[in-house]
Amino acid sequence: MALPYKLLFVCLGNICRSPSAEGIMNHLIQQRGLEGQIICDSAGTSSYHVGSPPDRRMTAAAARRNITLSGQARQFELSDFEAFDLILAMDKDNYENLLYLDREGKYQHKVKLMCDFCTQHRDREVPDPYYGGEAGFNYVIDLLLDACEGLLAHVQQEIRA
């Protein structure tokens, strides 16, 4: 496996869930001294919020766990299929939309549901917190902390293989 290993997190707007996954993963990577071996980015399937920073309610929930969110929303583009090693969809709609964009089915093996990597939660999707209250944003962070731990273990295995 060529380094750095490249991860792309994808949700609908790229202002709540996927920037959180990116921030949490970068936090774990830094904690474990893996900078330079794994790099992370995020994108949205929609163009609704292109150019916007992460949602302030999401940023606040992340800050309560000492995690910093950064970046500006961008829309997923077809070249991302080639550029990234693994593409993590936050929910089933995001997953289906990504597979639909891969017209020739060339990259299906790179696209996974983020919750496939959870070991402590039974959720199949990261719920969209956008129209809900603070508890929903906190839950996204807890769920993603679990998924990112599992994902990091998986990526480290891939790197060693």
**32 vs 132, which CB is nearer to ligand 4NP?**
132
Count of residues that interact with ligand 4NP, criterion CB under 6 A: 11
| Interface with ligand 4NP, residue 13, by CB under 6 A | yes
Q: How far is CA 45 from the centre of its chain?
A: 12
Q: Per-residue b/e over 64-74, b at no fewer than 16 CB within 10 Å?
A: eeebebebebb
Tokens of 50: 């292109």
User: Tokens 């500006």 identify what position?
Assistant: 72
CB of 106 to ligand 4NP, least distance (A): 25
CB of 11 to ligand 4NP, least distance (A): 4
| Interface with ligand 4NP, residue 42, by CB under 6 A | no
Q: Cα dihedral sign for 29, 146, 118, 111?
A: negative
CB of 90 to ligand 4NP, least distance (A): 6
Tokens of 86: 């693994």
- Among 8, 9, 14, 118, the residue binding ligand 4NP under the rule CB under 6 A is 14
Contact 21, 42 (CB under 8 A): yes
| Interface with ligand 4NP, residue 128, by CB under 6 A | yes
Which residues contact ligand 4NP (rule: CB under 6 A)? 11-17, 48-49, 128, 130
